[in-house]
Amino acid sequence: MKNFDRRKVLKSMACLGVMTVVYPGYGNMGRYLPALSIGACDWSIGKTSDPEGFALAREIGLDGLQVSLGTPQNDMHLRKTAVQQVFLEASREHGVGIASLAIGELNRVPYKSAPETEAWVRDSIDVANALGCTNVLLAFFGEGDLRDDPEGQAEVVRRLRKVAPKAEAMGVNLAIESWLSAEEHLKLIEAIGSPNVKVYYDVANATEMGYDIFREMELLGTEHLCEIHFKENGNLLGQGKVDFERVKSTLEKIGYENWIIIEGALPNGAEILPAYQQNLKFVRQLIRS
């Protein structure tokens, strides 16, 4: 190799190494699944289904962003190829990965009853594949609550049975997040009968319900727990009810190596940028300790 060409190659390799350090996943933005990278929900940083969220995520210092499929008002706009391209370009421009997809509107327009939600969930599989992420969070709170609702649970099972083969074929997980216990989640998953229906675990929600979150995470294991929210309600991470040291130890025990997504963790009146920089600092120190 000529000296000039060799210098060019070495310089290019050095630049790629720097970009990978500054923007984790730089060379692999199409399928961004680094071990224990840290992201946040776009709604938690005030950018619900907004590509401008990537710029703010970069300013915070996050590795990735959990993005919302959309709203009923914009007809779940990430289902449109043109909108997907805008998000992908924003992800590349700011060096912030797309960690996962979420359909938070299921809290207001319930999957267990609203007919239009079947198309939302079915189409979200294609969107996740196009964005290069693996997990789609299906929210079951508010109007979509499944507690003490056997008929609602049965309908969710029926609908997910129909769509699960598509998720399996495309390598996408449909991840249930709800107020149910780990055992109740496992019963739903068993009834659906698909390895691609899993649990999206939220440590704050489960703590609020009085569940033993450490036992629950061990019970679910990495077979059923596909992604996790590090969350507090009204407090910064590490300043509320959740024992994150034990959370970390439990995740290590079960061999969890996926995204850590920060949700909530915003005190009343706090500004998002400094609060989320503090939350990020807390999680980085925690996982490196």
Tell me the average pLDDT across 32-41.
73
In a domain, 7, yes or no: no
In a domain, 13, yes or no: no
Tell me the average pLDDT across 93-115.
98
Q: Residue 70 sits in a domain of what CATH number?
A: 3.20.20.150
Band of residue 12 on the pLDDT scale cut at 50, 70, 90: very low
Residue pLDDT, tens place only, 221-267:
999 999 999 999 999 999 999 999 999 999 999 999 999 999 999 99
In a domain, 246, yes or no: yes
In a domain, 30, yes or no: no
In a domain, 61, yes or no: yes
- CA 18/CA 26 separation, integer angstroms: 10
If we measure between CA atoms, which residue out of 42, 49, 53, 41 comes closest to residue 90? 53
At residue 20, does pLDDT exceed 70?
A: no
Tally of domains within the chain:
1
Q: Are 198 and 226 in contact (CB under 8 A)?
A: yes
Q: Are 268 and 236 in contact (CB under 8 A)?
A: no
DSSP per position, the chain: --HHHHHHHHHHHHHHHHHHHHSTTGGGTTS---TT-EEEETTTTT-TT-TTHHHHHHHHT-SEEEEE---TTTTSGGGSHHHHHHHHHHHHHHT-EEEEEEEGGGGTS-TTT-THHHHHHHHHHHHHHHHT--EEEEEE-GGG--TT-HHHHHHHHHHHHHHHHHHHHHT-EEEEEESS-HHHHHHHHHHHT-TTEEEEEEHHHHHHTT--HHHHHHHHHHHHEEEEEEEESSS-TTSSS--HHHHHHHHHHHT--S-EEEEE---TT--HHHHHHHHHHHHHHHHH-
In a domain, 279, yes or no: yes
Q: What is the pTM of this model?
A: 0.88
Residue % of the chain over a pLDDT of 90:
87
Q: Give the residue, 215 or 17, on which the prediction is more confident.
A: 215
Span of 34-38, 94-98, 182-186, 187-191 with lowest mean pLDDT: 34-38
In a domain, 108, yes or no: yes
At residue 64, does pLDDT exceed 90?
A: yes
pLDDT at residue 228, as a whole number = 98
**Host domain of residue 76:** 36-288
Average pLDDT, the chain: 90
In one-letter notation, the amino acid at residue 222 is T
In a domain, 276, yes or no: yes
If we measure between CA atoms, which residue out of 14, 41, 36 comes closest to residue 25? 36
- CA 103/CA 256 separation, integer angstroms: 23
Band of residue 35 on the pLDDT scale cut at 50, 70, 90: low
